[in-house]
């Protein structure tokens, strides 16, 4: 009961706090391993591990930054590279350092990099997949040798950098803290450990990533002809300051997409709509059987310039514990809280629909879900068949107001505007009855 209470308490917290009720322990951890102290230089291995259930880092990837406390200089690097070399004029020899910047920014190498520039678990273009989709590709590693600061007050211990940044919108990183040294083995028999290990924890905030939502939800059902659209201005309103650029669908032939450098996200250009969201999701209660019911979910990309690789959708519904079959998507329930199986995660099948293409004829993916009707709980009335919450790629989507949900056709409904008329009619009937007596 205590676990359920905690879930209810945190479930509707505003995502700007950096807390996600669907993945409360999710984070990206940066591990800094000191391998050897060579006197004047230090060998370090840096690892990034995505410990989030469903949120991933997509293209253009991570841009890891930090600030040296002194005048340290990166002499060599494998598995990654600094975006800029910086001012290295104080080194007059033929060999120049890899990076002399006070605040270097490191990016991952691309797949296919020559082997003499690689290290284990590198070269993925900065992409980190989530734990549930493919945990084997959720990490990245690079090695470097750097020259120590000329003046150090570290008292003989290593001087850890500070002010770490991940370079991905929405993420903020904490202060480095020391943890037990990492242990490793080369043959599976003898274990060794590094000199020191430090961790940096980076968490995600949807509000930091975008001041406005990025997706919305529309609803419909077979028992009602009404289609409840995404709420108006869910993500922004046309013409307002800061609104995303939009074009009408019949003008895409003349759309000029600006070119960007590697490591920079493309400016969004979406189709004009009343909700102005790059992603729209439609939940349709399709059919009812004797023991089962069926839902159709459609995800539409409204963005003309961006594909969504390794996309995922997370929804909360009490009947997810009784999913019988999911068509065309992968599906898994997330056991975030004990005895609570209402959270379900959907993602695409490899080489089939794991990439949501730009807006157009092929800019959507869809699935149908067959669910068992749990006795004593299943019902169509009061909006029970619709999701409580939906997120796309880890960002919560705007839901319609519950009082707008499609209702059953036989639901008794008396408009508040008719109540005075009914009251007046009853009053007149009472007066007439009295006068007749």
Q: Cα separation of 305 and 386, whole Å?
A: 31
> CA 411 from chain center: how many Å?
38
pLDDT value at position 375? 86
Q: Which of 138, 124, 121 is nearest to 53 (CA)?
A: 138
Position 266 scores a pLDDT of 60
In the prediction, which pLDDT does 341 show? Answer: 82
pLDDT of residue 176: 96
Reported pTM: 0.83
Distance (Å, whole) CA 46 – CA 31:
6
Q: Which pLDDT score is estimated for 64?
A: 98
Calpha distance 43→146 (Å, rounded): 7
Half-sphere exposure for 130 (CA within 13 Å, toward CB): 21
Other beta carbons within 10 Å of 287:
13
| CA dist., res. 53 & res. 383, Å (int) | 28
Pairing label, strands 215-221, 279-288: parallel
Length of the chain: 437
- Over residues 289-306, the pLDDT tens digits come to 999 999 999 999 999 999
Cβ partners under 8 Å of residue 168, min gap 6: 57, 61, 62, 63
What pLDDT score does 186 carry? 82
Q: Where are the beta strands (DSSP E) in 63-187?
A: 63-67, 73-78, 80-82, 105-108, 139-147, 162-165, 171-173, 177-179, 183-185
Give residue 203's pLDDT.
Answer: 96
User: What percent of the chain shows pLDDT beyond 70?
Assistant: 84
* H or E element in which residue 422 lies: helix 419-436
Assess contact for 77 and 98: CB atoms under 8 A: yes
For residues 304 and 255, the answer to whether their CB atoms sit within 8 Å is: yes
Q: Summarize pLDDT for 313-350 with one digit per residue, the tens.
A: 999 999 998 999 999 999 999 988 877 789 999 999 99
End-to-end CA distance of the chain: 63
SS3 label, residue 197: strand
d(CA 26, CA 404): 33
The per-residue pLDDT for 298 is 97
Q: Vertex 229, ends 224 and 231: CA angle to 5°?
A: 135
143 φ/ψ sector (left φ>0, alpha ψ -120 to 50, else beta): beta
Q: Profile the chain (437 residues) by mean pLDDT over runs of 10 residues.
A: 42 52 93 93 96 94 96 95 94 88 97 93 94 91 92 67 96 96 88 94 94 95 94 90 76 53 66 94 95 96 92 95 94 85 93 92 94 89 93 96 88 42 46 45
Residue 267's pLDDT is what? 66
């Amino acid at each position: 009961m205590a676990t359920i209470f905690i879930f209810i308490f945190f479930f509707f917290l505003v995502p700007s706090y950096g807390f996600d009720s669907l993945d409360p322990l999710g984070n990206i951890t940066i591990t800094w391993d000191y391998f050897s102290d060579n006197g004047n230089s230090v060998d370090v291995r840096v690892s990034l591990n995505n410990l989030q259930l469903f949120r991933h880092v997509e293209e253009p990837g991570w841009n890891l930054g930090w600030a040296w406390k002194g005048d340290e200089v990166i002499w060599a690097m494998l598995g990654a590279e600094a975006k800029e070399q910086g001012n290295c004029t104080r080194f007059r020899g033929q060999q120049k350092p890899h990076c002399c910047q006070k605040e270097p920014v490191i990016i991952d190498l691309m797949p296919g990099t020559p082997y003499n520039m690689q290290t284990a678990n590198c070269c993925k273009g900065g992409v980190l997949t989530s734990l549930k989709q493919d945990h084997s590709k959720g990490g990245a590693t690079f090695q470097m040798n750097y020259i120590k600061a000329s003046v150090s007050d570290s008292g003989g211990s290593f001087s850890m950098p500070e002010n770490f940044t991940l370079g991905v919108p929405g993420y903020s990183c904490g202060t480095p803290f020391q943890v037990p040294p990492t242990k490793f083995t080369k043959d599976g028999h003898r274990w060794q450990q590094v000199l020191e290990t430090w961790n940096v924890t980076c968490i995600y905030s949807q509000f930091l990533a975008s001041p406005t939502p990025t997706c919305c939800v529309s609803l419909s059902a077979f028992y009602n002809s009404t289609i409840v659209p995404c709420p108006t201005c869910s993500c922004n309103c046309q013409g307002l300051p800061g609104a995303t650029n939009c074009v009408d669908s019949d003008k895409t032939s003349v759309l000029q997409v600006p070119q960007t450098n590697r490591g920079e996200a493309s400016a969004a250009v979406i189709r004009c709509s009343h909700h102005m969201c790059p992603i729209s999701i439609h939940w349709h209660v399709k059919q009812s059987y004797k023991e089962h019911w069926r839902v159709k979910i459609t995800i539409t990309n409204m963005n003309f310039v961006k594909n969504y690789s390794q996309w995922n959708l997370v929804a909360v519904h009490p009947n997810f514990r009784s999913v019988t079959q999911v068509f065309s998507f992968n599906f898994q329930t997330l056991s975030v809280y004990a005895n609570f199986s209402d959270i379900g995660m959907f993602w695409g099948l490899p080489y089939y629909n794991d990439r949501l293409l730009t807006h157009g004829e092929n800019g959507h993916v869809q699935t149908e879900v067959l669910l068992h009707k749990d006795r004593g709980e299943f019902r169509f009335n009061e909006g029970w068949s619709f999701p409580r919450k939906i997120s796309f790629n880890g960002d919560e989507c705007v839901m319609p107001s519950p009082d707008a949900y499609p209702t059953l056709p036989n639901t008794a409904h008396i408009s508040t505007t008719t109540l005075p008329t009914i009251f007046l009619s009853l009053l007149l009937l009472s007066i007439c009855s009295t006068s007749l007596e």
